[in-house]
Amino acid sequence: MTGRAMDSLPASAVGSAAEAEADEEEADPLATGSPTLPVIEWGDQDPRSMQMPQGNPLLLPYTLQELLARDSVQVELIPEKKGLFLKHVEYEVSSQRFKTSVCRRYNDFVVFHEMLLHRFPYRMVPALPPKRMLGADREFIEGRRRALKRFINLVARHPPFSEDVTLKLFLSFSGPDVQNRLREAAQGVGDEFLNCKLATRAKDFLPADIQTQFAMSRELIRNLYNSFYKLRDRAERIASRAIDNAADLLIFGKELSALGSDMTPLPSWATLHLSTWASLKQAMKGLSVEFAVLADKAAQQGRQEENDVVEKLNLFLDLLQAYKDLCERHEKGVLHKHQRALHKYGLMKRQMMSAAVQNCEPESVEQLESRIVEENVIQTMELRNYFSLYCLHQETQLVHVYLPLTSHILGAFVNSQIQGHKEMSKVWNDLKPKLSCLFAGPHNALTPPRSPAEDSLCSH
């Protein structure tokens, strides 16, 4: 479902929507002319404000670069502190946009997540990582830190979320009880439907085939999720192999060094080869330095691909999962309630008509009031259903805005592979001349082995 499908809206609806948006809030000036980088880094974006859409409010005018420039939030582990019984993990959350740094615990994120769902039930609220299990190790804690970082960055860059008071409170309040402050801020405010001036007119901006577009978009997002899930798994395995390769190279070098440092005396019958063995040991001991450098290069490549490839794939997967969750909330939530209210009203109306026919009496005051209440409930549910579809259409556009992230991921992967192989190739080439003393020919002459190409030339 793309924004171009909305171009055929009536001019009157577009004009009234623009006036309502202008009354609701002033647009912040958006700085222009920022260069597009080949690979987007988490900390390279400058905070800036984004303009509200002009004309049709259903359309999102943002680019990926503008969304990423909205904020860059870092989440770092603070060394564990001992509580009365158990240790707990704390995080330092730093916002580039608000220029703040606050301390947060996992339960603070949980309350913040609940408030977001309360305020924006019809938007993509990313899921939180699971709670800490008993005996959680460092790998689990690091994985959860990365997931919390992805969560808060997706929220901080989401257009409606980024302007909400709960986000600013979460990222900037440094008092002792942020959870109560978040709940107090959400009390009495109501959800987005009650606060958006366009909510009751959302139907006017939707295309006639909105249900068909919704079904097509949901199928597309499902296919995207499955494909990117497989890409993420392979990228994880590639990065993991690079780190495992680093460990193997380091151990290989250490074993060569151990051989070179061996002081076991040779038996008497092998003394003729004493000088050769001494030369070999000296050479192997020196090679451990190059293998340590190779291990370091391989580890750097693995870590870089974890950060620039795997994490960005995880970020996009989190966004796609949030969209899938939103679709389920729409079907099981407001749409289901609307259908249930219609069913209940139909039963009540038939009962009233049956009673009126049997008693030949007009409706009582109580019956009339009950019918009015039910009709109001149905009308509200119908308006919420259209507003939910309105938000779904915008969230679908938001997913498509993030799609160019794929090119940045592929660019980071290719650059990492080129740079990693280039650096390791240089070390291997520097190492090759040092092997000359390891190969003894006739009469103890030291000759290095020939390459397969050289062997082929000799045979001809």
CATH assignment at residue 319: 1.20.1270
Task: Looking at the structure, tell me whether residues 167 and 259 fall in a common domain.
Answer: no
Task: Looking at the structure, tell me whether residues 250 and 398 fall in a common domain.
Answer: yes
Residue at 28 is within a domain? no
Task: Looking at the structure, tell me whether residues 304 and 173 fall in a common domain.
Answer: no
Residue at 147 is within a domain? yes
Residue at 447 is within a domain? no
Task: Looking at the structure, tell me whether residues 178 and 256 fall in a common domain.
Answer: no
Both tokens assigned to 203: 């139907």
Bridge partners of 74, per DSSP, are 94
CA nearest to 160, candidates 316, 50, 40, 324: 50
Task: Looking at the structure, tell me whether residues 304 and 427 fall in a common domain.
Answer: yes
Q: Which helix (H) or strand (E) holds 81?
A: strand 73-82
Of the candidates 195, 230, 250, which is a domain's last residue? 195
CA nearest to 116, candidates 125, 129, 127: 125
- Residue 410 phi, psi dihedral angles, 5° rounding: -65, -40
Q: Which amino acid is at 335?
A: L
Task: Looking at the structure, tell me whether residues 245 and 188 fall in a common domain.
Answer: no
Q: Which domain holds residue 146?
A: 64-195
- Asked whether the beta carbons of 245 and 333 are under 8 A apart, the reply is no
- Asked whether the beta carbons of 202 and 9 are under 8 A apart, the reply is no
Give the β-pairing of 73-82 and 100-105: unpaired
Residue at 220 is within a domain? no
What pLDDT is stored for residue 16 in this prediction?
Answer: 40
By three-state DSSP, how is residue 319 classified? helix
Q: How far is CA 166 from CA 111, 178, 184, in A?
A: 11, 10, 10
Task: Looking at the structure, tell me whether residues 254 and 379 fall in a common domain.
Answer: yes
Residue at 297 is within a domain? yes
What's the angle, vertex CA 404, arms to CA 398 and CA 407, rounded to 5? 155
Residue at 301 is within a domain? yes
Task: Looking at the structure, tell me whether residues 310 and 181 fall in a common domain.
Answer: no
| 106-119 and 165-172 helices, crossing angle to 10° | 170
Task: Looking at the structure, tell me whether residues 245 and 350 fall in a common domain.
Answer: yes
Task: Looking at the structure, tell me whether residues 167 and 315 fall in a common domain.
Answer: no
Q: Which amino acid is at 443?
A: H
Write out 394-438 in H/E/C secondary structure: HHHHHHHHHCCHHHHHHHHHHHHHHHHHHHHHHHHHHHHHHHHHH
Give the count of domains, the chain: 2
By three-state DSSP, how is residue 20 classified? helix
Task: Looking at the structure, tell me whether residues 306 and 167 fall in a common domain.
Answer: no
By three-state DSSP, how is residue 24 classified? helix
What pLDDT is stored for residue 282 in this prediction?
Answer: 78
What pLDDT is stored for residue 108 in this prediction?
Answer: 96
CA nearest to 100, candidates 52, 152, 161: 152
What pLDDT is stored for residue 87 in this prediction?
Answer: 66
Residue at 17 is within a domain? no
- Residue 192 phi, psi dihedral angles, 5° rounding: -60, -35
Bridge partners of 73, per DSSP, are 95
CA nearest to 218, candidates 389, 453, 48, 422: 389
Task: Looking at the structure, tell me whether residues 251 and 383 fall in a common domain.
Answer: yes
Q: What does pLDDT average to in each consecutive run of 10 residues of the chain (460 residues)? A: 39 40 38 37 38 68 94 91 64 96 96 94 94 76 95 97 95 93 87 89 91 92 97 97 96 90 72 67 82 95 96 97 93 62 52 54 52 63 89 95 95 95 93 73 50 54
The order of strands in the sheet holding 87-95 is: 73-82, 87-95, 100-105
The CATH number of residue 97's host domain is 3.30.1520.10
| Distant-in-sequence, close-in-space partners of 258: CB < 8 Å, separation ≥ 6 | none
- Asked whether the beta carbons of 235 and 313 are under 8 A apart, the reply is yes
| Distant-in-sequence, close-in-space partners of 100: CB < 8 Å, separation ≥ 6 | 94, 171, 172, 174
Residue at 8 is within a domain? no
